[in-house]
Amino acid sequence: MNQRMSRRTFVASGGGVLLVPPLAALAQSSPQLLLRRSAKPVVVASANGNKSEDDSGATCVSKAFQLMTAGTDVLDAVIAGVNILELDPEEESVGYGGLPNADGVVQLDASVMHGPLRRAGAVACLEGVRTPSLIAKKVMEQTDHILLAGKDAQHFARNAGFKIEDDLLTEKSRSLWQKWKRSAEQSPFLTPKARAEAWRRAGQAMVAEGLIDAEHFHGTVNCIALNAGGGVAGVTSTSGLAWKVPGRVGDSPILGAGLYVDGKVGAAGSTGHGEAAMFTLASFLIVEGMRNGKPPKDAAMAALQRVVDNTVEKRLLNNRGKPNFNVRFYALNTKGDFAGVSLYQYSEQGKRAQFAVCTQDGPQMAMAESLLPGRPTD
């Protein structure tokens, strides 16, 4: 059922592992907790976790696995993997080059959670920094808080030594925004509700035309991992919904929605329609399901059913009376069991639902289990 990566070949044998020195310790003042159990290391991510590559050809999941198995802290490892996507100008749903809000401004959200240390950090509506996951980690390390937002999150990043850029748009993302703007701004006299509907229709039309991948319209990267000592951590990073209302915050920086980690149980994360994950606190729900004995797949499928049960507004339903959007969850327990699930079997553009995995056998794409057949638009 799994298939090897179709992009640049990655050798996962002992001779193919990159020798990368460990990253800086999570925080010098934080005790390093020794876990007594052993586990088979694994990294699980959204499908784009096996897409973007660094200069060595490593993807998000393979980079995280390399670092983690070489002794790097489990959270530092997954963040380093996610940084590959955040810095890739061709990745339209994360970091630099991410699709902007309705004003043409790239606003980024991210969260991180460290299971052994029981700590977390997050940022929302962050502008001018390509790697919001690193700022979220700084919030975790250097403050008594969990979430910083907007201009103050940017000010915090500047004080932490990060470069603040005036514009994170690429030529491609700017061109797509300009095309959307011309289609969406039909009249200056629309009510806010009518304007929001016009914005949504214009975005969906671009997806239908193939100008935007459906996965990028609601795009995000989630990456969760388990190391050999049983330590688990996770990160979620996104540029958010394409053409969103300025200031909109999705599920990615909200603990329990886009990401949740419990060091004794496991981790879960979300990509896709953020509001659905927020309303159901899906990631927390999945972890609690695993705490109560459910395998990762069963816990994640129960969260998908909760999404369906809570989607009742007509504007959010398709002709079958089911959600007209997609959402995907990723789950991993401390035994090393994992799963990726999707509300629908296929994306709006007919792509089979998949997720990325890396084990000692190397990085692979795995088929996601689905709750509903077909596509959201069927």
Sorted by where each begins, the domain ranges of the chain are 35-168+213-372
Question: Is 220 designated active site?
Answer: yes
35-168+213-372 CATH choice from 3.30.930.10, 3.60.20.30, 3.90.1640.30, 1.10.540.10: 3.60.20.30
**pLDDT reported for residue 26:** 38
Q: What is the mean pLDDT of the chain?
A: 88
Evaluate whether 41 touches 332 at the Cβ level (below 8 Å).
no
Say whether 56 sits in a helix, a strand or coil. Answer: coil
Q: For 333-368, what is each residue's pLDDT tens digit?
A: 999 999 999 999 998 888 999 999 999 999 999 999
Q: Which pLDDT band holds residue 190 (cuts at 50, 70, 90)?
A: low
Q: Which pLDDT band holds residue 24 (cuts at 50, 70, 90)?
A: very low
**pLDDT reported for residue 208:** 74
Q: Which pLDDT band holds residue 377 (cuts at 50, 70, 90)?
A: confident
How many Å apart are CA 324 and CA 321, to the nearest integer? 8
| Chain center to CA of 275 | 14
How many Å apart are CA 375 and CA 378, to the nearest integer? 5
Q: For 294-319, what is each residue's pLDDT tens digit?
A: 999 999 999 999 999 999 999 899 99
Q: Which pLDDT band holds residue 21 (cuts at 50, 70, 90)?
A: very low
Instruction: Give the H/E segment covering residue 298.
Output: helix 296-310
Q: Which of 30-34, 177-181, 203-207, 323-327 is most confident? A: 323-327
How many Å apart are CA 170 and CA 119, to the nearest integer? 34
Active-site hit among 59, 72, 220, 238: 220
